[in-house]
Structure 1
Amino acid sequence: MTIHDAAFAECVAPPGWRTVDLISDLHLHVDEPATFEAWCGYFETTPADAIFILGDLLEVWPGDDVADQPGFEAECVEVLRQAAQRRPIFVMHGNRDFLMGADFAARSGVTMLDDPTVLVLHGERWLLSHGDALCLDDHEYLQFRAQVRSPEWQQAVLARPLEERRALARSVRTQSEDRKRSPGMVWADVDADAAREWLRRANARTLIHGHTHRPAEHDLGNGLRRIVLSDWDAAAHPPRAQVLCLSVAGAQRVDLR
C-alpha cells in the first residue's frame, strides 16, 4: 500500500486486498451506547482486508489529549488500536472530529487520509471524501468550515484547557442540532457540477462520500456517479448500520442487522 500526492492524494491498494469496507457518520457518543456496541461488533465480524472511515467517526473530538483521561474517547481509541492490529484502518476528518491529529493516529494505529483521496483498487479509481466541502449551497457551514480548518484557529483552540474545549464542542453540537430542527431548514446536498469536476481531476468514475445522511446512488452523466454512505444509528427503528463493500465485483451495500 502506498500513499502519495497527485492531482489528489492516492492510496494504492496492495494486490492482496480483495475487499475493502467504507463507513462514515457513526457519530459515536457516550450517550448512544447501541451504536458504539454495533461498531465494536462490526470489527469482530467483517472479512474486509482494509477499512476506510470517511469522517464523523465521533460526534465530538475536542483534541487528542482527551484520550489521556479514562473515558469514552480513550475507549474508542483502544477499540481502534486493537482493530488496526488485524487490518489497516484509514480515517478521514469529518465536520465533527476535525481536531483529530497525529497523536490520535499514533495511539490508535490508524492512517489519516486527506480529503479527498483516490483509492486505487482492482484497477478502478474510487474518489473518497467526507462530502461536506462539496455542499456549496450551505454557505453558513462552509464559512464555519474554513475557520475551524485553519491552522491558526486550531492552534489557538488547542491551547485552551481541555474542559474549556469540551464546553465549546458541546456548544457547537447544540447549535448544530438546533439548526437541524429549525422550521424551514433545507438540507444542502453535494453540488453535482463540483462532484463532476472532482471526478475529472481524479480521473475517477465514482465519488463515495458521507455527510449528508442520505444513502443513495446518483447518476452524474457520462458514466460518472456518486454513492452516498449511510449514517449509523443502532437505536433507530429500524436500526441503521450500513457498510459499503468494494471488491472486484464493484460496490455493494451491506446492512449489519
Structure 2
Amino acid sequence: MNPIYFISDLHLSSVESPTTRSFFDFLDNKISTPASLYILGDLFEVWIGDDDDSELAAVIQSKLTDFASKGNKLFFIAGNRDFLLDKSFAASADIEILEDPCTITFNEMKIIISHGDFLCTHDSEYMDFRKQVRSQAWKDDFLSKPLEERKQIADDMRDASKSASKNKSSEITDVNLNDVDSFLQKEKPDLLIHGHTHRPDLHDLEYGDYSTQRIVLGDWDTFGWCLKLDANGPDLFKFKIE
C-alpha cells in the first residue's frame, strides 16, 4: 500500500526563499515514492490567476510536473490565498483539483480533507469575505482586470488581512469547536484533516459510541509540516526549514 501525504500553508512567495527550497527538498527526499500528495490550500502566498507570469509560478509548475512524472499523484484543495488556482495551471502541473471539503478512502478509512477555513465561523468578518471572493461573479470581475492591477489588489487585500488579524483573538481565528462537533457527528469520518489555522496537533474525539481524530497541519515557517498516512496509521512530522 503506497503512503499518502498531506501538507498545507506553505505560503510560497519567491523562488529563492528557504521555504521554497525546503519544499523542493521535501518532494525530492522526504516522500517514499510512488505516493499521493494532497496539498490542502495556501501553497502560494497569493495567486492572482492562472495567467500569472511570475518566475515562481513557472518554477513550481515545472517542479510539480517533474514530481508527477515519477509515478506520484498530486491533489489540491484551494486555500484562502490561492483559491483562484484553476484548471489551466492544474493541467500544466498534473494536479487534480478537489472540492472543499472532500471525502477520500484509504485503508478502508473514511477521511475528510479540507483547507479548514469553512469551520472558522467565529470570525464572521472573514466568513463574509470568503463568501464574497469565492463567488463566481467576484472571480470573473477580478480575473477580467489587467495582471498588474490584480497584483496590486492582492497586495492591498493581504495587507488588510494582516492588519485585521492582529486585532483578533486566537479563539476567533481558530475553528469553531461546536461546528467541528456537529460536522463530525453528521459525516462520521475516521479522520478529519485540515490546515489554515497554523495550529498543528492531533485531537482525539469521542461522541458516545463514535470516536474519530482531527489532525491539524502546520504552516511552513520555522518548520515544515507533513502528515504521512500508511498502513501503520497517521504520522504528523516536522522538519527544520533552513
SS at match of 2:23: helix
Pair 171,70 (structure 1): closer, same or farther in 2 beyond 3 Å? closer
SS at match of 2:173: coil
Structure 2 match to 1:243: 226
Are positions 1:88 and 2:73 aligned together? yes
Are positions 1:229 and 2:217 aligned together? yes
Give TM-score, length-normalised by structure 1. 0.86
In 2: Cα distance, 1:187 partner to 1:177 partner: 14
Structure 2 match to 1:175: 160
Of the three residues 72, 84, 95, the one matched with 1:110 is: 95
In 2: Cα distance, 1:187 partner to 1:198 partner: 18
In 2: Cα distance, 1:246 partner to 1:169 partner: 35
In 2: Cα distance, 1:256 partner to 1:81 partner: 24
* Range with bigger deviation, 181-190 or 130-139: 181-190
In 2: Cα distance, 1:193 partner to 1:142 partner: 16
Counterpart of 2:66, as a letter, is Q
SS at match of 2:112: strand
User: Are the counterparts in 1 of residues 15 and 59 from structure 2 also a CA contact under 8 Å?
Assistant: no
Pair 90,226 (structure 1): closer, same or farther in 2 beyond 3 Å? same
Pair 145,83 (structure 1): closer, same or farther in 2 beyond 3 Å? same
In 1: Cα distance, 2:206 partner to 2:179 partner: 13
Structure 2 match to 1:30: 14
SS at match of 2:199: coil
SS at match of 1:115: coil
Pair 27,80 (structure 1): closer, same or farther in 2 beyond 3 Å? same
Q: Deviations over 1:97-120 (max 9, x none)?
A: 000111011111100011011120
Counterpart of 1:109, as a letter, is D
Are positions 1:163 and 2:168 aligned together? no
Q: Deviations over 1:178-227 (max 9, x none)?
A: 22334867542212232233334433132110000011122332212311
In 1: Cα distance, 2:161 partner to 2:148 partner: 20
Are positions 1:217 and 2:202 aligned together? yes
Structure 1 match to 2:136: 151
Pair 185,52 (structure 1): closer, same or farther in 2 beyond 3 Å? closer
Structure 2 match to 1:254: 237
Are positions 1:56 and 2:39 aligned together? no
Pair 75,149 (structure 1): closer, same or farther in 2 beyond 3 Å? same
Q: Deviations over 1:106-139 (max 9, x none)?
A: 1111000110111200111111010000011010
Structure 2 match to 1:192: 177
Structure 2 match to 1:8: none
Give TM-score, length-normalised by structure 2. 0.91
User: Are the counterparts in 1 of residues 9 and 196 from structure 2 also a CA contact under 8 Å?
Assistant: yes
Gaps (5+ residues) in structure 2? none
Gaps (5+ residues) in structure 1? 1-16, 234-238
Shift of 1:159: 0.5
Counterpart of 1:219, as a letter, is D
Shift of 1:256: 2.7
* Range with bigger deviation, 129-138 or 75-84: 75-84
In 2: Cα distance, 1:175 partner to 1:127 partner: 31
Count of residues paired in the alignment:
234
Of the three residues 97, 104, 111, the one matched with 2:82 is: 97
Structure 2 match to 1:236: none
RMSD: 1.8
Structure 2 match to 1:76: 60
In 2: Cα distance, 1:70 partner to 1:207 partner: 34
